[in-house]
Homo-oligomer: A and B are copies of this chain.
Amino acid sequence: MHVMVLGAAGMIGRKLIAALAKKGEINGRPIDRITGVDIVAPEMPVSPLKCDAIAGDLSAEGMASRIVALRPDLIFHLAAIVSGEAEADFEKGYRINMDGTLALFEAIRREGEEKPYCPKLVFTSSIAVFGEPLPEEIEDTFFLTPLTSYGTQKAIGELLLADYSRRGFLDGIGIRLPTITIRPGKPNLAASGFFSSILREPLSGKEAVLPVGDDVRHWFASPRAAVGFLLHATGLETERLGARRTLSLPGLSATVGEQIEALRRVAGEKAVSLIRREPNAEIARIVQSWPKGFAAERAIALGFTAETSFDEIIRVHIDDELGGKLPE
């Protein structure tokens, strides 16, 4: 089968492609081709499979139909500009995140008009579709009130995914990823960045800044769990979803204090001492409006799994990013 990954140069996209190339099959069907698409040509793994990189902007004239003409059997649509950028640049956010998604779905519909075509499509939505006031644990039937343009664009993507699926143009499943932690790489300016950096930096002997209090609660899963979600989604019989094509996924609801205690257990007091408290009211205000936890009953019943402690999430990072052990 031919698998296409949109957003292939991003952190999750790269890990997903590596996993696909390593497995060489998906749900028992051999993969013969992987195509990675991103705004810059993504680096593709060295593999016996046919691996191609395509550079281009999904919202640009003709781009969506060009890639859909390759008739991939399975499409992962992870491509998006992130929350902060979509908020800073209104037009760009709508162009990439809404128009780009619509262009993809339309290209698939039109491709199917020529000759029957109905690919499985996994769409990554976000917990940013929810906005305060929120219950401590968000039920599967709780309504969407995005408080950012990014969240609005993702919520529109969910609606389009459901309608294009209902019409039989594609076979879609949407997944609302928890905040992926520990993100590898350097500290960034995202308001959520500290959730990763207060663990990642001390695990490598570096200092990290904590801008909020210990009692701040949020919703997490590891990058490895994210890849697991994406792969699991491809195997679901989507009839089981009915008209409700997007799922809130399982994750770990934890406080910053619980993150720090896990760091202490895994890496010791010295690591914890590298966290410098520097309260930032603006970041505290933003984070306060975010979801704190989900019931995720439907996704759990459908077999999605995530970590159940921050000790696990930290160990995943040590295994996958630090070669299995802490630096001396």
Chain B residues with CB under 8 A of A142 = 141-143
A243 touching B163 by the CB < 8 A rule?
Answer: no
Question: Does A144 interact with chain B (Cβ within 8 Å)?
Answer: yes
Q: Tell me the residues in window 57-103 of chain A with beta carbons closer than 8 Å to chain B beta carbons.
A: 90
Stretch at the interface among A15-23, A154-162, A213-221, A279-287: A154-162
Question: Does A45 interact with chain B (Cβ within 8 Å)?
Answer: no
Contact check: which of B141, B147, B159 meets A156 at CB < 8 Å?
B159
B167 touching A162 by the CB < 8 A rule?
Answer: no
Question: Does A196 interact with chain B (Cβ within 8 Å)?
Answer: no
A105 CB, min distance to chain B CBs, angstroms: 10
List 7 additional contacts besides A144-B159, A146-B163, A156-B156; criterion CB under 8 Å: A145-B243, A147-B166, A149-B163, A152-B162, A152-B163, A156-B159, A156-B160
Q: Which A residues form the contact surface with B (CB < 8 A)?
A: 90, 131, 140-147, 149, 152, 155-156, 159-160, 162-163, 166-167, 243-244
A156 to B159, CA, bound (A): 7
Q: What 4 A-B pairs come out closest when comparing CB atoms?
A: A152-B163, A143-B143, A152-B159, A141-B143
A145 touching B244 by the CB < 8 A rule?
Answer: yes
B143 touching A144 by the CB < 8 A rule?
Answer: yes
A210 CB, min distance to chain B CBs, angstroms: 28
B167 touching A149 by the CB < 8 A rule?
Answer: yes
Chain B residues with CB under 8 A of A145 = 162, 243-244
A167 touching B90 by the CB < 8 A rule?
Answer: yes
6 contacts between A and B (CB under 8 A): A141-B143, A142-B143, A143-B143, A146-B162, A149-B167, A152-B159
A54 CB, min distance to chain B CBs, angstroms: 27
B141 touching A144 by the CB < 8 A rule?
Answer: no
A155 to B152, CA, bound (A): 11
A167 to B153, CA, bound (A): 14
* A154 closest partner in B (C-beta): B159
A111 CB, min distance to chain B CBs, angstroms: 15
Chain B residues with CB under 8 A of A144 = 143-144, 159
A143 CB, min distance to chain B CBs, angstroms: 4
Chain B residues with CB under 8 A of A156 = 156, 159-160
A117 CB, min distance to chain B CBs, angstroms: 16
A152 touching B147 by the CB < 8 A rule?
Answer: no
A160 touching B152 by the CB < 8 A rule?
Answer: yes
